[in-house]
Amino acid sequence: MVTPTQMQAPPAVGPLPPLRTPVLETFALSNGLQVVVIPRHAAPIVSLTLMFRAGSDAEAPGLTGLASLTAEMLDEGAGDRSALDLAADLEQLGADLWLGAGRDGSQLNLQVPRKGFEPTLAIAADVLLRPRLGAADWERVQHDRLTALGQRRDQPEAVANIVADRVLYSDNHPYGQSSEGRESTVQRITLDDIARFHAAHWRCNQASLIVAGDVDPVALPAQLERAFGAWTGGPIPALALAGGARQPPRLVLVDRPDAPQSVIRLVAPGQPRLSPDRTALRMVNAILGGSFTSRLNFNLREQKGYTYGASSGFNFMRHAGAFSARASVFTDVTAASVTEFLNELRGIGERPITADELIKARATLLGRAAEALSTTGGLAATFGEISLYDLPLDEPGRFVAQMDQQDAASLQALAARHIDADRMGIVIVGNRSAIEPGLRALGLPAPELRDADGDPL
């Protein structure tokens, strides 16, 4: 037992344990479907992820929302089951099934107690191979989506994200539109479009299968073969994307009269997923706005009390990337908050990165990686992303090794090159009459006014 005076000295901290990467197996089914198996027996559950390489980046410009609606339609009835029967049968097995699409990929996620794994696989195979795509189901799903798109305008954070993407990417680039789509495009989508998207992209040669958790690796190949063996491949469609990220306008406002907070986004073009600078930029961002003690959160939350949280991040996507910094702040400190954001964005290239900041960035990212690898869901998600971008399976270990090669000076130089405070687009959703004068006083130009969908007013 210590005495109060002995509490003064913090205990010594031993060496950080190295990242423990999982032991995994890979094999292919007879149809070529690539499988990654990661056994983990801590809980009697199995997580399965099927990752497809096409997401909303594969949509034709007028059909925004098609990839996510296709994913959503697949479990609205499949094989012998109606939509409600399918939901009830999954529930009976204790299975969670989720289908969706993001920018760069579509996916099916499944989590189920071990004893329900095999029957759930059979349902998943129906969903993938034998979706009903019924007209009445489509009419309902389409209508629900249209309503949800309307409701999105109620949410200031969602509006800020939509507007930021609209101003950052050229109009015909899929990253400029949210993957949920917009009313005009969702109205235009037909059940034939859904069937075509499914037939073109939900093929076994465009997918990777990750199975993590309490599986029997000996029995698994036969189980998967029974479920997915009849699945066939098809030609891999080429994606020709026009344009990319562009320099956004300096100031964009979306008026939300009487809002008690302003939602702020600062956005600029970033780097694609396979950028050689990705690891270093993640470290830069951990220091700038990617952790609780980062410069942005420390300044805007802990020092000033302007916000519940300020953060930043690079979004590394297949065809292009984006940088953004964000916070929701008291309306009356909107301009002061923008000033602090710009100071910190300028400062990351100018104010020396300290040795402590470098150590902290590495340890924070290493800690997150270790935690992601400590649950079945995290394992499936980690290796799902690895397969989506065709990365080597030892990517988590490579990431740590790449971090070890960085020093403060090179991170600083990289930050100065990639984060330009004077060219950030500033998007604010808030009470325009209360905040515009303060923003003008900062020397910001007259704002471009947009509606909640990002359309110019």
User: Which positions from 121 through 150 interact with another protein, judged by CB under 8 A?
Assistant: 140, 143-144, 147-148, 150
Choose which of 26, 27, 32, 88 interacts with another protein (CB under 8 A). Answer: 88
Which residues, 286 to 325, sit near another protein by CB under 8 A? 291-293, 298, 301-308
Looking at beta carbons only, is 320 or 358 nearer to another protein? 358
Closest contact distance (angstroms) between CB of 63 and another protein is 23
Spatial distance between the Cα atoms of 25 and 211, rounded to a whole number of angstroms:
10
**Counting contacts by CB under 8 A, is residue 360 touching another protein?**
yes
Closest contact distance (angstroms) between CB of 245 and another protein is 28
Contact characters 369-398, another protein, x per CB under 8 A: -xx-xxxxx---------------------
Number of residues that bind another protein (CB under 8 A): 81
Ramachandran assignment for 65, one of left (phi > 0), alpha (psi -120 to 50 degrees), beta (any other): left
Strand, coil or helix: 118:
helix
Spatial distance between the Cα atoms of 394 and 313, rounded to a whole number of angstroms:
24
**Counting contacts by CB under 8 A, is residue 23 touching another protein?**
no
Looking at beta carbons only, is 207 or 365 nearer to another protein? 365
Which residues, 144 to 183, sit near another protein by CB under 8 A? 144, 147-148, 150-151, 153-156
Spatial distance between the Cα atoms of 237 and 138, rounded to a whole number of angstroms:
25
Looking at beta carbons only, is 70 or 364 nearer to another protein? 364
Which residues, 254 to 293, sit near another protein by CB under 8 A? 256, 258-261, 291-293
Sheet holding 321-330, edge to edge: 307-316, 321-330, 261-269, 425-430, 251-255, 448-449
Q: Alpha carbon of 383 to those of 47, 369, 430: distances in Å?
A: 12, 12, 39
**Counting contacts by CB under 8 A, is residue 238 touching another protein?**
no
Angle (deg, nearest 10), helices 117-129 and 83-92: 160
Spatial distance between the Cα atoms of 34 and 27, rounded to a whole number of angstroms:
6
**CB 329 within 8 Å of CB 307:** yes
Closest contact distance (angstroms) between CB of 390 and another protein is 27
Comparing CA positions, the residue from 297, 276, 293, 317 lying closest to residue 414 is 276
Closest contact distance (angstroms) between CB of 286 and another protein is 9
Looking at beta carbons only, is 280 or 286 nearer to another protein? 286
Closest contact distance (angstroms) between CB of 11 and another protein is 4
**Counting contacts by CB under 8 A, is residue 43 touching another protein?**
yes
Q: Report which residue type is found at 82.
A: S
Choose which of 64, 111, 178, 271 interacts with another protein (CB under 8 A). Answer: 111
Beta bridge pairs of residue 48: 110, 211
Spatial distance between the Cα atoms of 46 and 57, rounded to a whole number of angstroms:
30
Closest contact distance (angstroms) between CB of 292 and another protein is 5
